[in-house]
Structure 1
Amino acid sequence: MKKIPTILFVAVVSLMLSSCGVNSALILNNNQNSTMVQLSSNNYKVIDKVSGSAEVEYILLFGGLNKSQLYENAYSAMVEKANLVNSSKALINIVTEEHIGGVPPFYYKRTITVSANVIEFTQ
């Protein structure tokens, strides 16, 4: 009987100190460009892998950006790092990852990370 309060205390402390989080990854073609590129021949090389992320925090379900704006911010950060201006480069294999952590509904943080491979055309 004396061990029950100790066990209950350890269980409560363990739950309070544990991390709560959810991850998901999506492989989608969110790029709405109408450019057609043929990658069937050996006319390109993979030169880099870039990523961009954006996060928002919510307290008592009140917070900043919605999910689509968060995705746009992460995508913009990735494209900026890719340095695609005035070159024959393109982004391929775009992957979107989302992580939600915290203790909902009191506090949680949503992080969206978008990553892709940068290719450069040689011919």
Structure 2
Amino acid sequence: MKNYLKITLLGASLAVMSSCATHNALTANFKSQNTQVILSQDNFKIGERIEGKANATYVFGIGGLSKKSLLETARTNMYQNANLQGSSKALVNETFSTKTSFFLLFWKHQVNVSADVVEFTK
């Protein structure tokens, strides 16, 4: 009986202290503009990699009360980090990834957006 109680307590404590997470990533060109640039000449250079992040936490299913979506917030954050205004730069190779972590009745959703900066020299 003591062994049964120990095994039950061990199993219950492992179940309570564990958590899970899922991850999903998508690489595509989701530009709202339909401008096409053909990079066949040596008139550009690839700059740094820019990132933007956004997350929301839910307790008992309540949370994430922002009017903007996580993807929109992360993308806005990425564009602010890119500092594109007043220059001949563009973002290419956008990658979106999502991560959802949960523990009992707590969920955390995180969206990461990243892209490469291309600067045109001519």
Same fold by TM-score, threshold 0.5 exceeded? yes
The 1:112–1:58 alpha-carbon spacing in structure 2 relative to 1, beyond 3 Å, is same
Q: Is the 8 A contact 2:97 2:113 kept in 1?
A: yes
Q: Is the 8 A contact 2:51 2:78 kept in 1?
A: yes
Residues 53-64 of structure 1: pairs in structure 2 closer than 5 A: 53-64=53-64
Letter in 1 for 2:35: T
Give the TM-score of the pair, scaled to structure 2.
0.88
Q: Which runs of 5+ in 1 are unaligned?
A: none
Task: Map Cα deviations across residues 55-85 of structure 1 (whole Å, 9 max, x no partner).
Answer: 1111222222479711100000001101100
Where does residue 34 of structure 2 map in the other structure? 34
Find out whether 1:103 has 2:103 as its counterpart.
Answer: yes
Letter in 1 for 2:114: S
Moved over 4 A (4+): 65-68
TM-align CA RMSD: 2.0
Give the TM-score of the pair, scaled to structure 1.
0.87
Range 15-24 or range 111-120, more displaced: 15-24
Letter in 2 for 1:122: T
Letter in 1 for 2:115: A
Letter in 1 for 2:118: I
Where does residue 118 of structure 2 map in the other structure? 119
